[in-house]
Amino acid sequence: MTSPTPAPSATPGTPRARATIADVAAEAGVSKATVSRYFNHRERLLSPDIAARVEAAIAKLAYVPSPMAQALSHGRSRLIGLVVADITNPYSVAVLRGAEKACQEAGYLVMLFNLGNDRERERAAIDALASYQVDGFILNTLGQGEGLADVNTLHGKPAVLVDRRHAGLAADFVALDNEAAMRETCAHLVEQGWQSLLYVTQPLQGVSSRLERTAAFRACIAAQGPKVRGEVLEIDAQQGEDALARALAEFREREGSKVRCAVVAGNSVVTLRVAAAVARLQWTFGQELGFVGFDDPEWAPLIRPGLSTVAQPTDAIGQRAAQCLLERIGGLQGAVRENLLPGTLIVRGSSLGV
Amino acid sequence: MTSPTPAPSATPGTPRARATIADVAAEAGVSKATVSRYFNHRERLLSPDIAARVEAAIAKLAYVPSPMAQALSHGRSRLIGLVVADITNPYSVAVLRGAEKACQEAGYLVMLFNLGNDRERERAAIDALASYQVDGFILNTLGQGEGLADVNTLHGKPAVLVDRRHAGLAADFVALDNEAAMRETCAHLVEQGWQSLLYVTQPLQGVSSRLERTAAFRACIAAQGPKVRGEVLEIDAQQGEDALARALAEFREREGSKVRCAVVAGNSVVTLRVAAAVARLQWTFGQELGFVGFDDPEWAPLIRPGLSTVAQPTDAIGQRAAQCLLERIGGLQGAVRENLLPGTLIVRGSSLGV
DNA sequence: TTGTATGCGTTATCAA
DNA sequence: TTGATAACGCATACAA
């Protein structure tokens, strides 16, 4: 009680500092090294009785090693740096969720850096994360070769790319199998009798997922032969929703009233805007316009007659990304791996034939 | 060039390790302490010429102090621990976004821990975060007194509570002004001629925001006198959407066809479920059922004739939370602060009179 | 099998 | 004003 040294007594109420390895060593009557070994080389080189004493001391003091100190000493921090292009995007969040979960389960914590779609900050993000000695990166960001010029940028840490590839960066990659999903989507629409397809996408801007989906769409159209027509429309955030409405109206007029027209939306952002435009036009999905959208927002069933969508296995993507990264952190060598996960076409009313 | 020691030369290609304070000291021909002072006490106790030399060395080596080492030595990590109850909830994400942004701008990084609605992990979350020496916590979680028994749990670090209060925890609090928002909502509905109001909420379960909104609803009804009736309905995730549809139908039948009935949804989760139930009933908002929902999901304008909502200033809430916390970290003492931010009633078609 | 000593990158205390 | 030097909490050679 009157001891001048802050003895780690079990005084509740006193928010005493965390026990350190030295406290445990003293409590168990062994050296710090022994306590350290208890954690790192347990069975291999520790006698049972000593191990038991250490274990008891650890339990008594509720000792938990400091990851910061471990990071300083040993290099590893059990920290994963997660850079996301836009945390406003539900897709990113869904992936983040899966990744964070997998990391948590593996005893890693996630440090988050949101770019807010600002490419300039990408380099800063990685540097900031690296300064905390993260063991690796999960990157859902960019398209161009701007920030991530080369592996050097990553400070020698492993990384996994999610959803968006990067030319200069040889890293494991996890994403939706865009080509297969697009094939299934187009096949379904054609089968249901839609004859002219309009693929609406956000500006390509070198974003690999957008490029791939667009290319896959064009390939599908080409494969169908002359009986099916296809167009691509890029929209950007600037133009209002009536600009899109006009574009859709023109599309239908161009094709003529005999031709059944459908839209394929490149992601949930586009889906929202198309739905708004269609509402403004007073059209009904499945009638004036067929529809399938990539991503499956929770409100898709609410827009009559229900929006058909391609659901991404976001949780699996996130978990797979984390798993890939953890394997690399664990020392796995070898060629870059490519994980293309299958989407699920959810057919609701908007894509059905009349 | 031929120096055997790994001189920090500007060899690109070689992923050389980060420069340390010792490298800078050597480069500038001063001691490590001097370099440290350059960062921490710059002008106060450093001669201009030495400062210039240090500055040059820092620039040349692109030196950045290691936050990990700083944390070890000096206690502060420039890390904020963010615990969120459910990252699937767009509200949480929106707040997170504002908070993360503010932290980033202040030079702090955010460590994320998602509870996935699992209360058991709350204590573990805080402990895990604390082990990384976070400087403070932003907590958006729980209701009951389970995990966060007392301030002791926080390892002596400051915290700010977002959206949900906690009885045993005297910490700054940031949230929507639920009472004012509910008052405005009810006044609007009554003014538009809705006579019987049903407040639909997720299970209260001691969650303060749910309790407050429910209490505010009851108070509003009471204040209106006998001309307006009000009921509260708790729904849980278990029951299917037709259970809710039945409940809504019964509600209308009970009140009779003469009485204009409206629903107030407690948050966006409830809004989604009510919208699904109304679709199933083939009702139209604003006709068979009036509607105002807390939270303003992006799809609210798409459900005809447009869903009226109370939008929360999520970004401001997040930023304010971060600001509060950073002030406390900066040493601010004094009584716990309560930040109630105003919501915005967005009137669309669903709440208008006939 | 266990203990001692050293280093990881910083800050802080104490001399000079 | 500046420079040694000792922590900070841990892991790991090395010695015993």
Q: For residue range B114-136, what is the model confidence (pLDDT) as tens digits?
A: 998 887 888 888 989 999 999 99
pLDDT at B147: 56
Q: Does B106 touch chain A (CB under 8 A)?
A: no
| Among candidate residues A225, A220, A317, the one with its CA nearest the CA of residue A264 | A220
Average of pLDDT values for A189-212? 96
What is the C-alpha separation between B305 and B285, in angstroms, rounded? Answer: 7
What is the C-alpha separation between B178 and B329, in angstroms, rounded? Answer: 28
pLDDT at A39 over 80: yes
Closest in B71, B90, B109 to A68, CB measured: B71
pLDDT at B116: 86
Closest residue (CA to C1') to nucleotide D9 in the complex: A69
What is the C-alpha separation between B313 and B273, in angstroms, rounded? Answer: 23
pLDDT by residue (tens digit) across A44-59?
888 889 999 999 999 9
Give the chain A residue nearest B73 (alpha carbons). Answer: A69
pLDDT at A59: 95
Whole-number Å distance, CA A65 to C1' C11? 22
pLDDT at A269: 94
Bond from prior residue into B305 cis (ω within 30 degrees of 0): yes
Residue A196 burial class via C-beta count within 10 angstroms: exposed 0-12, middle 13-18, buried 19 and up: buried
Size of interface A-B (CB pairs under 8 A): 138
pLDDT at A155: 85
Rg (CA), chain A: 27
Q: In what order do the strands lie in the sheet with B136-140?
A: A338-341, A172-176, A159-162, A136-140, A79-84, A109-114, B109-114, B79-84, B136-140, B159-162, B172-176, B338-341
pLDDT at A11 over 90: no
pLDDT-derived band at B308 (thresholds 50, 70, 90) equals very high
More confident: B294 or A141: B294
Work out the percent of chain A whose per-residue pLDDT is above 70.
92
Using the beta-carbon criterion (under 8 Å), do A97 and B110 form an inter-chain contact? no
pLDDT by residue (tens digit) across A276-324?
999 999 999 999 999 999 999 999 999 999 999 999 999 999 999 999 9
pLDDT-derived band at A209 (thresholds 50, 70, 90) equals very high
Q: What are phi and psi of B255, to 5 degrees?
A: -75, -20
| Among candidate residues B128, B130, B99, B131, the one with its CA nearest the CA of residue B115 | B128
Closest in B64, B90, B279 to A302, CB measured: B279
Q: Please provide the CATH number assigned to the domain covering B79-175+315-341.
A: 3.40.50.2300
pLDDT at A1 over 60: no
Q: Does A120 touch chain B (CB under 8 A)?
A: no
Work out the percent of chain A whose per-residue pLDDT is above 90.
74
Bond from prior residue into B4 cis (ω within 30 degrees of 0): no
pLDDT at B234: 97
Note the pTM of the prediction, 2 decimals. 0.90
Average of pLDDT values for B261-270? 97
pLDDT at B87 over 90: no
A142-151, A197-206, A301-310, range with the lowest pLDDT:
A142-151
Rg (CA), chain B: 27
pLDDT by residue (tens digit) across B34-76?
999 999 887 777 888 999 999 999 999 999 999 999 999 988 8
Residue ranges covered by each domain of chain A: 1-65, 79-175+315-341, 178-312+344-351
A325 Cβ contact partners less than 8 Å away, ≥ 6 residues apart: A80, A136, A137, A138, A158, A159, A160, A172
Q: Does A93 touch chain B (CB under 8 A)?
A: yes
Average of pLDDT values for B94-105? 93
A173 Cβ contact partners less than 8 Å away, ≥ 6 residues apart: A160, A161, A162, A165, A336, A337, A338, A339
More confident: A59 or A142: A59
Whole-number Å distance, CA A274 to C1' D10? 57
pLDDT-derived band at B8 (thresholds 50, 70, 90) equals very low
pLDDT at B213: 98
pLDDT at A217: 98
Q: Does A152 touch chain B (CB under 8 A)?
A: yes
Q: A20-41: buried (b, 16+ CB within 10 Å) or exposed (e) per residue?
A: bbebbbbbbebeeebbbbbeee
B positions 267-286 inside 8 Å of A (CB): 272, 275-276, 279
pLDDT-derived band at B229 (thresholds 50, 70, 90) equals very high
pLDDT at A166: 85
Q: Which residues touch strand D (CB under 7 A)?
A: A 17-18, 20-22, 32-33, 36-37, 39-40, 63-66, 69-70, 72-74; B 29-34, 37, 45-47, 49-51, 69, 72-73
pLDDT at A5: 35
Mean pLDDT of chain B: 90
Please indicate whether the domains covering B1-65 and B79-175+315-341 agree at the CATH topology level. no
pLDDT at B102 over 70: yes
Please check whether residue A323 is in contact with residue A341, taking contact to mean a CB–CB distance below 8 angstroms. Answer: no
Tell me whether strands B344-346 and B308-311 are parallel, antiparallel or unpaired. Answer: antiparallel
pLDDT-derived band at B143 (thresholds 50, 70, 90) equals low
Residue A266 burial class via C-beta count within 10 angstroms: exposed 0-12, middle 13-18, buried 19 and up: buried
Q: In what order do the strands lie in the sheet with A290-294?
A: A229-234, A196-201, A261-265, A290-294, A308-311, A344-346
Neighbours of A6 (CB within 10 A): 10
pLDDT-derived band at A13 (thresholds 50, 70, 90) equals very low
Mean pLDDT of chain A: 90
Query: What six digits make up the tokens of A19?
Result: 């026990």
A26 Cβ contact partners less than 8 Å away, ≥ 6 residues apart: none
Closest in A93, A114, A301 to B100, CB measured: A114
pLDDT by residue (tens digit) across A243-278?
999 999 999 999 998 999 999 999 999 999 999 999
Closest in A112, A131, A279 to B66, CB measured: A131
pLDDT at A123: 85
The DSSP string of A215-264 is: HHHHHHHHHHGGGSEEEEEE--SSS-HHHHHHHHHHHHHHH-TTS-EEEE
Q: Which fold has domain B178-312+344-351?
A: Rossmann fold (3.40.50)
In CATH terms, the superfamily for domain A1-65 is lambda repressor-like DNA-binding domains (1.10.260.40)
Q: Which helix (H) or strand (E) holds B250?
A: helix B241-255
Please check whether residue B141 is in contact with residue B91, taking contact to mean a CB–CB distance below 8 angstroms. Answer: no
Q: Does A132 touch chain B (CB under 8 A)?
A: yes
* Helix/strand/coil for A46: coil
pLDDT-derived band at B239 (thresholds 50, 70, 90) equals confident
